[in-house]
Amino acid sequence: MSESHRRYFNATAEKWLHRPESPELLDYLLQFNVMAGDRVLDAGAGTGRMTRFLLPLVGRTGQVIALDAAEMMLRIGRFSAQAKSAVTLCADLCALPLLSESFDKAVCLAVLPHCRPLQSALREVFRVLKPGGKVLILHTCGSEELNAIHARLPKPICDDVLPPVSSLSRELIEIGFVDIQAEENSALYRLQAKRPPR
C-alpha cells in the first residue's frame, strides 16, 4: 500500500469504526469453514470488522492476526474482547513480515484494490499459507459497482480498481492456487482458493 493510501485510511479511520454491522460476513466465514484452532490472517483488517467475527470461530486455541497498513485503523479498532486470540500488526500486505507457511486461512475483505502491485499481495498471501491453506477474497458488491464508488472518491482511492472475478481467478492460478471458487454479482464478490497440499 502506498504512503498516500496509508494517509487516506488513517484520516478516515473514525468513519470506518462507525460503519453498520454486516452480519452476512459471519455467514461467509462459516461457508469458508473457519474452525476452532485455526490461525487466520485478516488482511486489511481495518478497525476489526471481520476480526470480530473471526475470533469466536477460532476460539481460545486459534489466533487471528489483524493486519493493516494504516496504524490508526488498528489503534482505534475493537480487537480487545478476546485479546489472547487477537494480534494486531501494522504492515504492508505486499511485503508481509510473517513466516512462510504459517497460516491455515487468510481473509481479504475489501483490501486488494488498494494493493499495488496486486500480484505481489497475492503472492505474499500464497507464501504465508500452509500447504492446503485457503484464502477468501470478499467484497460486499461486484467489481463494477465498487469501481464506480472508488471513481467518485478523492485520490488515491479514485484510481483503485478491482478486476472481475474471472481476471483475478486467472492471476490466482498463475501464482499456484488451486480449487478456485468464484462468484460475482452486483451485491457480492467472492473468491476462494487453496494452496496445494504437499
Planar angle of CA 86, 121, 27, nearest 5 degrees: 50
Domains of the chain, residue spans: 3-194
d(CA 13, CA 91): 16
> Is 37:59 a contact under the CB 8 Å cutoff?
yes
* Overall fold of domain 3-194: Rossmann fold (3.40.50)
pLDDT one digit per residue (tens) for the chain, 198 residues: 789 999 999 999 888 877 777 889 999 999 999 999 999 999 999 999 999 999 999 998 999 999 999 999 999 886 655 556 789 999 999 999 999 999 999 999 999 999 989 999 999 999 999 999 999 999 999 999 999 999 999 999 999 999 999 999 999 999 999 999 999 999 999 999 999 998
Residues 93-100: contacts with CB under 8 Å, at least 24 apart: 93/1, 93/43, 93/44, 93/67, 93/69, 93/121, 93/124, 93/125, 94/1, 94/120, 94/121, 94/124, 95/120, 95/124, 96/67, 96/124, 96/127, 96/128, 98/41, 98/65, 98/128, 99/128, 100/127, 100/128
Q: Round to whole Å and give the CA distance between 107 and 44.
A: 9
Which H/E stretch holds residue 122? helix 118-128
Q: Edge-to-edge strand order for the sheet containing 178-185?
A: 86-90, 63-68, 39-43, 103-109, 129-139, 188-194, 178-185
User: Which set of grid coordinates corresponds to residue 49?
Assistant: 470488522
The reply to whether omega before 113 is within 30° of 0 (cis) is: no
